[in-house]
Amino acid sequence: MSLKGRTALITGSTGTGMGRSTALRLAHEGANIVLNYGTHRNYGNHVGGSDAKARAEEVAKHVRELGGQAIVVEADTRKEDDTIRMVNEAKKAFGTIDILVLAAGGRWHVQPFESITVEHWRDVIEAEIDAQWLALKHVLPLMRKQKWGRIITFSMNGAVTRKTTVDTGVDYIIGKNARTWMALAIGNDEFDNGITFNIIEPGPVDHIKDINAAIAPIKGDTAEWEKRVKPNAQDGAEAIAFLCSEAGRFVSQSIIRFPTDHW
């Protein structure tokens, strides 16, 4: 497998989840990596703040050590001006975008349906739906022109089949359903243009907080990873690496699920 000469734009790729693991994994295959952070997230492992840029630069350093080139772009993917700037910076650095991985997303917050505030609703829907739409709007024309593209988005295991609002982030699930529909429809429309579009649907998978632990299986040290009892960020990265490879050339409009905790 080699992605040398290919450029991957990966939103939400500087935290501790699948976005970062994907950036590291694709870098190992020689891809140029556009690392993105800046979509507002203020919970769990996704706390932003003054160290966000430093964490992004640390990921970029490891991308280069693994064999890829990297730039870091702070951009709120919910905003069109930021998205345009991010795409333009990728083009300036590497010429085009071949791979688009949409890992940034909204905030999961369980609350009764009627308790959701308008502010929270819009925040989640914009991060899930608007962000994907804007990225596609400005990246798809590049892929059509070159007759080659790989797009992967993140939905949620069970989003389409969930039939209750109890113990659920309703706005989040609606956003994930929209992502899935867009992927299936656009994947169908773009397949003859050499563009594939697939969906990763994880349940609550484990993050890998230590970046060295995230790098170890990529370098071939799989001893700790093989001890896992449920999926973690590396599982998603491995699936995405396959989808971006020549071996995944004819896989499109597919939903790849990582069920966990009875999800």
Report pTM: 0.94
CATH of the domain at 74: 3.40.50.720
User: Is residue 1 in some structural domain?
Assistant: no
Task: List the structure tokens of 208.
Answer: 């890998």
Do the domain assignments include residue 2? no
pLDDT of residue 47: 46
Task: Note the pLDDT tens digit of each residue in 104-126.
Answer: 999 889 998 899 999 999 999 99
The pLDDT value given to residue 44: 39
> 104: domain range?
7-258
Per the domain annotation, does 85 fall within a domain? yes
What is the structure's pLDDT at 46? 44
Rounded to 5°, angle at Cα 234 from 177 and 98: 65
CB 17 within 8 A of CB 214: no
* DSSP 3-state of 84: helix
CB atoms within 10 A of CB 221: 12
Q: pLDDT at position 50, please?
A: 59
Q: Is residue 196 part of a domain?
A: yes
Q: Does the residue 221 lie in any domain? A: yes
Give me 114's structure tokens: 């009627």
Inside any domain, residue 117: yes
Q: Bridge partners of 201?
A: 257
In this structure, the number of other CB atoms found within 10 A of the CB of residue 43 comes to 9
Nearest to 263 by CA among 174, 216, 203, 218: 203
pLDDT at 160: 81
Q: Specify the number of domains making up the chain.
A: 1
Nearest to 99, CA basis, from 183, 11, 160, 182 = 11
**pLDDT tens digits for the chain (263 residues)?**
799 999 999 999 999 999 999 999 999 999 999 999 997 554 334 444 558 889 999 999 999 999 999 999 999 999 999 999 999 999 999 999 999 999 999 988 999 889 999 999 999 999 999 999 999 999 999 999 999 999 999 999 888 888 888 888 999 999 999 999 999 999 999 999 999 999 999 988 999 999 999 999 999 999 999 999 999 999 999 999 999 999 999 999 999 999 887 66
Q: Tell whether the torsion through CA atoms of 101, 122, 124 and 200 is positive or negative.
A: negative
The answer to whether position 144 is within a domain reads: yes
Residue-wise over 8-31: b if at least 16 C-beta within 10 A, else e?
Answer: bbbbbbbbbbbbbbbbbbbbbbbb
Q: Look at residue 89 and tell me if it is in a domain.
A: yes
Distance separating alpha carbons of residues 98 and 195, to the nearest angstrom: 9
